[in-house]
Amino acid sequence: MTAFYFQSNARSADGLHRSGNEDSAFVSGRLIAVADGMGGHAGGEVASRIAIQTLQKLTPVLTNVDIDPDSTEDLLLNSLHTIDSEIGEYAEEVIEVRGMGTTLTALLLVDSNVALLHVGDSRCYRLRGNTFEQLSNDHTVIQELLNQGTISQSEVADHPQRSVLTQALMGQGTVVPVLQMYEAKVKDRYLLCSDGLSAVLTDKEIKALLKKSNKEDAVKALIEATYINDAPDNVTVIVADITEEEVTAHQLLGAAQ
């Protein structure tokens, strides 16, 4: 069976109105992930770092080709519970970070499929040929209102609850993990990003910049576009192409470094 890999370029930036970076990210040949922390500078950093570093530690098991795909998917789903409990344990010990939490959006290559694990409002997009689509579903009050038809897309920007999450990893044991599976195809391009990007740029703008042939140029252009728009939040971007060429490099970014 053909082995697939992520060939990635990534960057995490502080934004123009933040004193530190609460985003974390991880890129490797088979697993990539973005986490956006919340709960104040110190707490947000810790929560996103726990999420990403936990995934990093699990990478050798999650990418072990001797483990059958169903078991790998179960392990990936269960990683959310591991992360959630570690966040809860840390918050019990360190009072000043109680209430902290993090989003998590991760992609894992499992055989000929891409598994998407997602909690919160960081996003996963896929560019296949000229077709650009958001694969993740925002766990936000706004998204629920949109789904119900209670508000229109034009009302989102000024809505008082636009940043309220309905799910996040906060150590409370209440997260409901969902795994979405997609067929992996060579030359598919994936974008993982914190809402520091998606809250500032439209899908049309993101697609235009993501289509740059060079991944490094695409990452740079996406980050620069948020700065042109005043970059109100930390912004983390991973651009990853599916390839059959083996990729062994890995990297931690943002608060997880």
Q: Which of 127, 147, 142 is nearest to 193 (CA)?
A: 127
Number of residues written out for the chain:
257
Cβ distance 212 to 221 under 8 Å?
yes
- Domain locations in the chain? 5-254
**41, two tokens:** 């500078």
Q: Could you state, in chain order, the average pLDDT of each consecutive group of 10 residues for the chain (257 residues)?
A: 92 87 97 93 91 97 95 96 96 91 98 96 97 95 82 72 86 92 97 95 97 96 95 94 96 97
pLDDT score recorded for residue 162:
67
What is residue 124's predicted lDDT score, i.e. its pLDDT? Answer: 98
- CATH architecture classification, 5-254: 4-Layer Sandwich (3.60)
pLDDT of residue 160: 67
Tell me what pLDDT residue 41 has: 66
Closest C-alpha among 214, 213, 257, 218 to residue 238: 218
